[in-house]
Amino acid sequence: MAAPTADSPVRVLVVDDEPAIRDYLRLGLRYEGFAVREAADTHAARAALREWDPQVVVLDVVLPGEDGMAFGRDLREGDPDRLLIFLTARDALDDRVRGLEAGADDYLVKPFEFRELVARIRTHLRRLGPGPGDMLAHGPLLMDLMRHRVTLDGAPVELSLREFDLLCCFLRHPGQVLSKQTLLDRVWGYDFGGNDNIVEQYVRYLREKLGEQGRALIVTVRGVGYRLGD
């Protein structure tokens, strides 16, 4: 398996028989800078493995036909360096242990928060060494994803976890207008039960913590959403 480079984003294969989950992960992971393919069953997944050689496989445990655990075990034997993350609705301790014993690097229970999945992927990928996506910058603003630090003109900016994730979403899409719904999906997760007013609230928090430059760095596009300023 080839390691990612600056010109070659991390390849993620999503294997899940639920179309809504595949669509959600495909869109979200692409927003985060990953290359994504999807498969509805292990037959399609095996073809993608041969043709595309993904560095990461996000795998549902319950699949039509071949059991996801058995497929994961075969996948691990075929390439011990490939990152394998199980998704499942089974949250009993015995199920989690079985998943880890089958060779999974991680095990996430549905419903899950998208930002947690991305964080786990990035954390495990660091075993391959620092990647080009570990630092994000926009003018005087610098974000160190590996150390979870933000600086503005060299001075540290203390952010909560949610504020950090929201700013990260903006930094990953410079110049792009992000709607409230997009920000809710990427930062709060697909199963968030609140309303989109929370986005306005956290944008305000970010602007306050970024001081005098805050409003210029995060621009309101009326009737659409928000974007990073020039």
pLDDT digits (tens, 9 = 90+) for 107-131: 888 888 888 898 889 888 876 555 5
At 188, the pLDDT band (50, 70, 90 cuts) reads: confident
| CATH 3.40.50.2300 domain residues, the chain | 11-128
Q: What percent of the chain has pLDDT over 70?
A: 87
93-101 helix and 68-78 helix, angle to the nearest 10 degrees: 30
| The pLDDT value given to residue 144 | 86
- Note the pTM of the prediction, 2 decimals: 0.62
Cβ-based neighbour number of residue 115 at 10 Å: 21
Mean pLDDT over the full length of the chain: 85
| Overall fold of domain 11-128 | Rossmann fold (3.40.50)
- Ranges of beta strands (E only) in the chain are 11-15, 35-39, 56-60, 83-88, 106-109, 135-138, 141-144, 149-152, 155-156, 178-179, 218-221, 225-228
pLDDT of 177 > 60? The answer is yes
pLDDT of residue 57: 96
The architecture CATH gives domain 133-228 = Orthogonal Bundle (1.10)
Structure tokens at 25: 């992960």
Residues of the chain with CATH 1.10.10.10: 133-228
pLDDT at residue number 200: 94
| pLDDT, average across residues 10-15 | 93
Q: Could you report the per-residue pLDDT of 41-72, keeping only the tens digit for each?
A: 999 999 999 898 899 999 998 888 888 888 98
